[in-house]
Structure 1
Amino acid sequence: MNKSKQLRDSASIVILEADKPTGEQPIALFIIDEHREDYLTLQDAGDPDRGRLAGFFGWLAIAMICLELLLMLYGISESVLIELGITTLLFLVVFLWEVRRPLPLPIVFNRRTREVYIDHDGVLFHASWEGLCAEVDEFQLVGTHLSGMQNASLEIRVWKFEQPDKVLMISLGAPFGKTLRMQKGFWEYLRAYMNNGPWFDEQGHHSESDTFVKSQLSMRPKISNSFMPTRMPIKQVGKEAGDENYISGSDAIKIILKPIFYPMDRIQKLVYSFAKHRSHNLWSRVVIERLKAGGPTTRLVDLEREKSLDI
């Protein structure tokens, strides 16, 4: 990490280490995809819009079914049935197309083997957690429409599997919109997970309860949670007003439209889940084995050393 640090502006670089606290409270950023007992994954240049097109056609098919039932009451159904068939066919084609296309593989932090896995253009890179360091580079964006926006990147160094002379610096999520303090808090979350996890408290200490972790993960935006964030603030306003007629016109429109489009969000989430499950099998065999609960615990660096001794 020292050589990489010398190549850049040392004044803006902060080095974070796996075995040293940052002094910040653990923060779960929205790039966390899965937090499991054995491993944690981060979205790496993912496809957050995956399933949106299938969700639209699925919602359209549902709307056509409702319209068909309504028109059947008036004895009109022939033309609507044809349109319903076309819409359903389009939905099935788009659904299969989006599910079968692989998603970019995530960055994996494996607690069992205490290492990190990264797939870069189909090539496996890895790093051992012990001795791992991260670089936080804080910078400011300035432009004609920006008076100054503070950002900070968080990067780790990884090595190509079976070719350790090839090295990459990998960013743990986009740096824009993140501050130095936020990146330190996120690194502290990773430290707490790898060193004391899977469950820990607000200080990063081991805990038998998953309360703090779930409270952090609940703040991530979710594809299908579009209705509750609308309903709860309106309900709170009603409690404060103490009036039955507290709902404004804009609130009424939100309450009506959100449930109508809710199926679209649910279908999108379903498509994304299926695509993610299929993409899991794209990992190399050595990684898939180590992501299993009862899989081997030998690190990839240990496999490399064994291979070098056999040569």
Structure 2
Amino acid sequence: MAGYRLDKALAELFPTYSRARLQQWLSEGQVLIDTTPRRRGKEKVQGGEKVQLTAQLEEQVTWQAQSLPLNLLYEDEAILVVNKPAGVVVHPGAGNPDETLVNALLHYAPELAQLPRAGIIHRLDKDTSGILAIARSLPAHTHLVAQLQQHQFKREYQAVVTGVFVAGGTIDAPIGRHPTHRTQMAVVTQGKPAVTHYRIIQRYRAHTHIRVQLETGRTHQIRVHMAYQRYPLVGDKAYGGRLHFPAGSSESLKQTLRTFPRQALHAETLGLVHPHSGQWLQWTVPLPPDMQNLLMELEQDKINQNAD
């Protein structure tokens, strides 16, 4: 490595840590070259020096640990995988200061306090159910974030939308902050690239049950893309528009659609490369009861109309 910049040499010597974190430790004087602290990443190395990293992990979050239910699908020293129910917020924030998934995770695995965002790699909206992966160590966090950025995670969802799709397809439309409704996202020309693949599981009279695969992971991506295509998710209060009942539908179906408490979206499958073993791991969880009931009502409506 003679002639390398110090920051480039450190990135090769310590690949389990991100360049940003190595730069932080460098600026804090926690990198010793032949026992002397060095702080400038651009200085050149001679080759043959002894490098010592003296950094200590510090608490990255100040959120409180709380004893709350946690549905664990998998755990080892590197990762945790959980099945999040609808109605649970992932991170504490305005309006949700506690009783979130992070509060439960910090109680179960206190070491997560040393990781950015308590080890959370990707998020699900409060009212979306399904699978989330959490890093349990800094090297695992770096590895999983890189996988996510390179679109190597497998993330499949089931959803119920208003409207009858003719066929599956791909939505490739950039997503950014809504120009006037600042708490919402929208398809906007200056947004970040967003790609959603979908295929049909079952058509009903005025709705479609679909399976969705994310290529990118923008905020509210599936909800925004489906609304953009004019097939909004059932129950989506932000992007769903007006209720739509099939002609002649039963009171039971109308009541189910009126009172469905959330967007009909479930993170069904998650696959990733384990950050330590390099093995491909994959988990699938069934639809929760509220979505099963919604599909049962739509199927019954279809049967009733065919009988007539």
Q: TM-score range by the shorter chain?
A: under 0.3
Alignment TM-score, normalising by the size of structure 2:
0.20
Higher relative contact order (CA 8 A, sep 6+): 1
